[in-house]
Amino acid sequence: MQLEELFVSPHQDLDGHISSLIQAFHEMDDSLLPYDRSDFTHRLADSAMPDGHMALADYLRRLQQLLPGISHLASPRYMGHMTAPLPAYTGELSRLLAMLNQNPMKMESSRLLSFLERESLARLHRLVFGQEQSFYDAFMHAKDAALGVMTSGGTIANVTALWLARNRACGDNLFALAEQGWRGIAILGSRLMHYSFDKGMDLLGAGAASVRRLPVNEHNRLCLSALETELAHCQEQKIKVIALIGVAGTTDFGSIDPLPEMAAIARREGVHFHVDAAWGGPTAFSARYRPLLSGMEQADTVTLDGHKQLLVPLGTGMLLCREPSLMMAVKREAPYAIRASSFDQGRFTLEGTRPANALYLDAAFHLIGEQGYARLIEENYDRARLMANLIEADPAFELMAAPVMNLLAYRCIPPHLQGKPLDASANIQINAFNIALQKRQRAEGHSFVSRTQRAVTRYGEQPLTLLRAVQLNPGIRREHIEALLDEQKHLGLVIAQELFPALS
């Protein structure tokens, strides 16, 4: 194929072929090509650059061969991660977005889409902070203000929040702190904070010790007495606390920190309050569950992540600012592109060039809308409670925390320990058992849950291996949950014989 042809009409029925590939993919699960690292690396081991002469039909066959080995996230028995299946319209919309190739870093390279991005951020700002219409009339399209920024995901949103907090607290010169008598900076949050905060503080030059991870209570929420103690400790050490981090939906348990109390403490101390609601923020769409997020509206900044419960593609994160002037703390300009007099969102973003993914949000808001999101949230949360009930009713499992949102942490108990008191020695066996079980289920590919390692109050500080189920896919039904748990019990009998032959 000639190079010029690729820019005109590369294949007379390319759309039809791609649609067939997508349909075939959605009818598979991982068991069609079980995970085998050596096999995968053997399949993809050619380091030579292709000459570019492959016919498009041949490349489509290459894609067809790759599909069985890709994670089948849309399977209703795939309940392990926080990546949502996408509505059917997304494929065609992504085609349009890719071919438009707009760059909302700068108004000149995206024009109207720059303002659509601002409108989408305003809709989310109103969901989170609930200001009056006059507020949005004044600030949605204000030149030297921003209700938030789009990012490539929750990690960059959290890093941007730390950048803002640092600049608000002490400017961009950490050396100046020493002249004021400070020995360093820190952020405070629970031990369940996302690891992006470690990355952010490292990038700010503050080091690992600047992330102070504090104990949680029996509900996996930040312990307020520990927070007060650490604030006093930082003051004694001459460590300047630049932010308190509250989590609205921890990645392990879906738990929510005591946000109203943290907001009050942040105001008292004059400290930036950031809420990482990458997972739990869309809970606000549901009138039934919105009270769980009480206090989020008092945050200075809030992270959301669209590829989770907003059902839009990867690469669609948001950082929202309660005060529109806040983003001025990180404003940057460039004479060739991002000028001070412009409306360019690139003045406020850590990333430069990026896709106009606000178009995905705009489509979701109009096609799913507030009522659709409320229904999805409530049905997913109800499914988590159903799964929790099934786990609690079966001695082969142990529920580690009652579900707050739509995440479940639990573990399988090997047959010889079911119904018995569990001590530290038993937990070591259960850890090994659950690691082997999760790997075996993942390898076979019919069902999937992920795993984590956390201490749980009832067992003290001993690290426990926990299985982690995510109820995000609207296609999941009771029979899928039962099939997943039944498979774990069946595999558990086999693994128990392998690990504990004398006890099983």
Q: What percent of the chain has pLDDT over 90?
A: 75
Residues 463, 345: Cα–Cα separation, whole Å? 44
Fold of 370-500: Aspartate Aminotransferase, domain 1 (3.90.1150)
Average pLDDT of every residue of the chain: 92
Residue 353: per-residue pLDDT: 87
Residues 185, 178: Cα–Cα separation, whole Å? 11
Q: Which residues contact 282 (CB under 8 A, 6 or more apart)?
A: 304, 308, 309, 310, 373, 377
Indicate the burial class of 65 (C-beta count within 10 angstroms; 0-12, 13-18, 19 or more).
exposed
CB 252 within 8 A of CB 194: no
- Rounded average pLDDT over 182-189: 95
Unique residue bearing structure tokens 């291996």: 465
Q: Single out the residue of 171, 287, 185, 198 nearest to residue 237, CA to CA.
A: 185
Where do the domains of the chain lie?
103-354, 370-500
Alpha helices by DSSP H, listed for 188-331, are: 196-203, 224-237, 259-269
210-264 residue pLDDT tens? 999 999 999 999 999 999 999 999 999 999 999 999 999 999 999 999 999 999 9
Angle at 248 between CA 319 and CA 192, to 5 degrees: 105
Q: Is 149 helix (H, G, I), strand (E, B) or coil?
A: strand
Q: Single out the residue of 46, 80, 76, 85 nearest to residue 62, CA to CA.
A: 46
Unique residue bearing structure tokens 């896919």: 473
Residues 407, 279: Cα–Cα separation, whole Å? 10
277-316 residue pLDDT tens? 999 999 999 999 999 999 999 999 999 999 999 999 999 9
Whether the per-residue pLDDT at 12 is higher than 80: the answer is no
Q: Is 318 helix (H, G, I), strand (E, B) or coil?
A: strand
Chain-centre distance for alpha carbon 184: 29
Q: Which residues contact 283 (CB under 8 A, 6 or more apart)?
A: 248, 249, 289, 290, 292, 293, 309, 377, 405
Q: Is 50 helix (H, G, I), strand (E, B) or coil?
A: coil
Residue 110: per-residue pLDDT: 87
Q: Where are the beta strands (DSSP E) in 145-238?
A: 148-151, 184-190, 211-214
Chain-centre distance for alpha carbon 450: 14
Angle at 411 between CA 452 and CA 391, to 5 degrees: 130
Q: At what angle do helices 154-170 and 196-203 cross, to 10 degrees?
A: 40
Number of neighbouring beta carbons within 10 Å of residue 1: 15
54-107 residue pLDDT tens? 888 888 999 999 999 998 888 899 999 898 889 999 999 998 999 899 988 887
Whether the per-residue pLDDT at 406 is higher than 60: the answer is yes
User: Which of the four pLDDT bands, split at 50, 70 and 90, describes residue 350?
Assistant: confident
Residue 344: per-residue pLDDT: 76
Residues 204, 202: Cα–Cα separation, whole Å? 5
CB 214 within 8 A of CB 226: yes
Q: Single out the residue of 185, 127, 141, 138 nearest to residue 302, CA to CA.
A: 127
| Six token digits for residue 14 | 């390319």
The whole-model pTM stands at 0.94
Q: Which residues contact 155 (CB under 8 A, 6 or more apart)?
A: 194, 196, 199, 317
Residue 337: per-residue pLDDT: 60
The CATH code for residues 103-354 is 3.40.640.10
Residue 173: per-residue pLDDT: 73
Q: At what angle do helices 224-237 and 259-269 cross, to 10 degrees?
A: 20
Q: What percent of the chain has pLDDT over 70?
A: 96
Whether the per-residue pLDDT at 35 is higher than 90: the answer is no
Beta bridge partners of 246: 275
Q: CA dist 63 to 18, 24, 57, 59, Å?
A: 9, 12, 10, 6
Q: Do domains 103-354 and 370-500 have the same CATH topology?
A: no
